[in-house]
Amino acid sequence: MKKIWIIARMTFRENVRKRIVLTGLALGLIFLTVFTIGFRMVYINGLNGVDRPNEMLSRMIVTEATNMLLLAGLYAVTFLSAAMGALLGADTLSGEINSGTIQTIVTKPVRRSDVVLGKWLGFAILLGLYSLLMSGGTVLSIWTQSGYLPPNVLKGLSLIYLESVLIMTLSLFCSSFMSGLATGGVVFGLYGLAFIGGWVEQIGVAIQNQTVVQVGIITSLIIPSESLWRRASFEMQSPVSAALGFSPFSSTSVPSPLMLGYAVIYLIIILMAAVSTFQHRDL
């Protein structure tokens, strides 16, 4: 376990200095700035600037609009976090194998499984900080300006973080036997498949077409990333939006706790597959 922590610290320090992480951080800060300014303008000039005869109705409209804008911001954060996870793991093993730097690690009394698990842990910590900055920053921006906090915010943000870790783990697995470029293509392709599959399932439920629903469910079993976001948005949705379904983030097909359990098991299996593949790879 000590060797895993050592590799995790090394991985964390090395990647903090990489341009891709610094670029992602800069883009994240730009996003938070634009989102904060945009919400400020909408909230002051749009939501609070309109007189309505019914005070209760007015507050409900403001709350629902604020919740929708928050989920829209978190939807963008979900993509940014998943992209960061995919890019972190895409070239970590294959790149070091091609450059020969992996030889300086595996020739020491360090098991190959420790290398993979250490890198995964380092990436998971880095993603946790990035997710805290982006997701937490979005929620904090809304709260400081409007005083609004969504329901089940910790559970929702945890699911967003879990999605980014799942994508990173998949990227790490592909990197154990594919080139960095191929890994990026495969992971982003699967992420796009999950995105389309999630909407297909939603549409299938709306039109009551069981065949279409089954297609979406099968897609979620192939890669459950979109299921995690849909559950996160459901957890943080206002009760009115959840009941009426008028928000674009309302889910007509909410992933069950069983699907969340499947996502966790999926992540563990993919990580173990990465360990096994790297152990048998010719370096």
Domain ranges of the chain: 2-279
Closest CA to 176 of 280, 27, 74, 63: 280
> Rounded CA gap, 215 and 203, in Å?
11
Q: Which long-range contacts (CB under 8 A, 24 or more apart) does 56-64 make?
A: 60/240, 62/146, 63/148, 63/238, 63/240, 64/238, 64/240, 64/241, 64/247
What is the average pLDDT across 97-104? 65
Number of Cα atoms under 13 Å in the Cβ half of residue 283: 20
Q: Average of pLDDT values for 17-41? A: 88
pLDDT value of position 252: 65
Answer yes or no: are the C-beta atoms of 177 and 280 closer than 8 Å: no
pTM, rounded to two decimals: 0.90
Q: What is the pLDDT of residue 216?
A: 85
* pLDDT for 201 beyond 80: yes
> By C-alpha distance, which of 224, 236, 231, 281 is closest to 256?
231
Q: 59-85, pLDDT tens digit by residue? A: 777 888 888 899 999 999 999 999 999
Residue 159 parent element (H or E) = helix 153-175
* pLDDT(108) > 60: yes
pLDDT for residue 75: 93
